[in-house]
Structure 1
Amino acid sequence: MMSWITRKFGFTFLLLSFVRPLFSLPSSKKLKEIKLLPRSEIFFTQMENCYSLEIPDVEPGKVQIDLPELPLGTKFISSKKEEYLDEDGLRGTRISLWFTFSYSGNTRIPPLLARINGKTMYFIFEPTYVYENPALIAPLVEIEFDGMEMPKKDKKSGQRLLQLRAGEKLIFTVSIRYAIQVLDFKWKIPKDSIFTESERFEFAKGDEKITEFTTESKKIAKFQWQILKEGIYSLPEVSIGAISYSGLKKQLSLPQNIVVSVSGKKPEGQNGLEKADENVFEAAFVQPFQEDDQKEASSISREECEKLAKSIKRTFLDKAFRRHFAVFAGGEICSVPEEKIPGQSFTGGQKVKITERAEKWSFIECKEFSGWTKNDNIIEIK
């Protein structure tokens, strides 16, 4: 028969065999495999985004963390340490960390330092791509030419020059990005042209509505365009009414920085376009581009915009509610504050409201357009 002491120690051993696995320190190899994972599938700028770290078999009181030096534009908001149970009923510590990001793009936070039972460990943040906040993104119209690449942008004028021969058939597809629904879609036939819509896609009909954020573009329509006379042409007048992720209705047009130069000769080094019908080509007559026409189409000068900005004063309500306005001097308006993303060029002279800033960029709004532009393109009203 077992003595009382034997029974006592036997019971204690049995109890420890159940209790110890609840909070026994995992092996170093197992800990090194643990990462801080994004709690949501997509991270956005200007919003709180959460990383989560789960350490099994360790109680919260034995874990201390120390944040690393954060990258530029990344701001720590708050943290939470709590106990959790996994699917097998084993206990552990869950650490949640919330951050905000000012800039979109690939983001990687340096490793998190943690002390577990006095032992120092480093946990890696899973690399994450941060998308621009949908509430701040304006819908973007894109154009893709069949059989040829998009022309490079001229550094001085900011224009993309497309060279054609009179009568050549140019086929292009119009798409839209960062819009949840199309409300209306219409176009006009350009002068001195044969212009037809060869295909209209489902999204352009307005029945389809996007319910989740996506960076993919939606095709609107495919066009065929033949210019019959020599000269300089802007892209055809195509109007798209769409709803942005913020719920606002936007009226959009084709990019204004693409210019088509039509001549009697086929440009060297450009392939993929159909040959012009000789009868059409012979019927075409010369219509050279006049400098006077260019001056009439240009925007008001920056000096005039500066004078306009000085003539407007901020009101008492503007100062009280910290509302900021400026005069737009002309330039590109982009959907995101990044130089790699193509924008649309607009003429200057409008009074615009500044709603957001990001280093050398400002988000501006007016009746004609809204989006990000470089600070050099605006003269702030003081």
Structure 2
Amino acid sequence: METEIDFGRIFEFLTPHIIYGNGSLDELGKNTKNLGINALLVTGKTAMRKCGIIDRSKEILESAGCSVTVFDRVEPEVSCQTVDKGKNFAVKSKSEVVIAIGGGSALDCGKAIAIMMTHEGESCEYQEEKDIIREGIPFVAIPTTAGTGSEVTKNSVLINKETGWKGSIRDAKMTAKIAIIDPELTLTMPPSITAASGMDALTQAIESYVSLRSNPLSDTLAARAIKLISNNLEKAVKQGNSLQIRERICLGSLMSALAFSNSGLGGVHGVAHPIGADFDIPHGDICAILLPKIMEYNKNFNTSKYLEVAKLLDLTNNTIEDGIKSIEDLLERINIPLTLGKYNIDPKKFETSIDKARGGSFNSNPRKIDKKELSSFLIERLL
């Protein structure tokens, strides 16, 4: 039975201009030209060059009359210091528009560079102390993975290398002007990245659906995303060269991103950032491992929504526990562990990591989170 809609509730829904479909990268030139002629192309250090996407993007842009400067220094977990270097790079090249191509780190880096172009100081100051007060220069997001959702979100997740703190710069002014989602660009994703990024998207969809801030639009998108991703992720991992399957995962990821960016997330993402940063665990992996445990932690809260999630995962599921089992079975089939055993984490350090968790995700979680209680719950089940 579907949750009843609250027709009287006021909510907002934010989205960039989205261009979706196979071959949509070809739309980059004419759309960028309308935003600025001098483009800064932000990407990682090697992968995008090796697969030819950077050269192809430069060719498309230059054919449209744009000049292109490449900033290819983005780390797997992007830092505030790299953002600041990118800003200096953009200033020197007189960039008028920032284009980011790659995974979530590249997109978060590009997004932060674009906003910092109109703000003084270092990017780390805007994680907690300073407010975003004006629009940045235009930002175009082009994901090559299906999962992070950074192409449609209004924040950048950054690590401050000097303090070790991982947090967000967040403001609606950071939303991309244009997001280009081309499933063909995801064909080069290896199985492990496909699995991890896909589970990140599935986690986002489930957390959005049960979020205390969910709304009718986010629920509709999240529900469809849960079905698309859960039905196709194993196939994408094992049949990565199938464009038809990649299309389904990309669309599910996009729907998930639009949902959670307008509803908030929950306990998984609330603790995933500090745990991932402290113990060097990739974001998609830690989200996947935490998901069934946080579902168990929350199962007596917002139960009607969790029952619907179980049915969305598999129509034969009759209980929330069945839904949790569906997630665990999927993790095993795509070779993601169910515990953190291989990381040999000290329980006291794990508890300290969770104690550092803060941010809006906890506020959206169905169950009010007590960090000490949650830490004990997860230590017992994960370490």
Length-normalised TM-score, structure 2: 0.23
Greater Rg over alpha carbons, structure: 1
Length-normalised TM-score, structure 1: 0.23
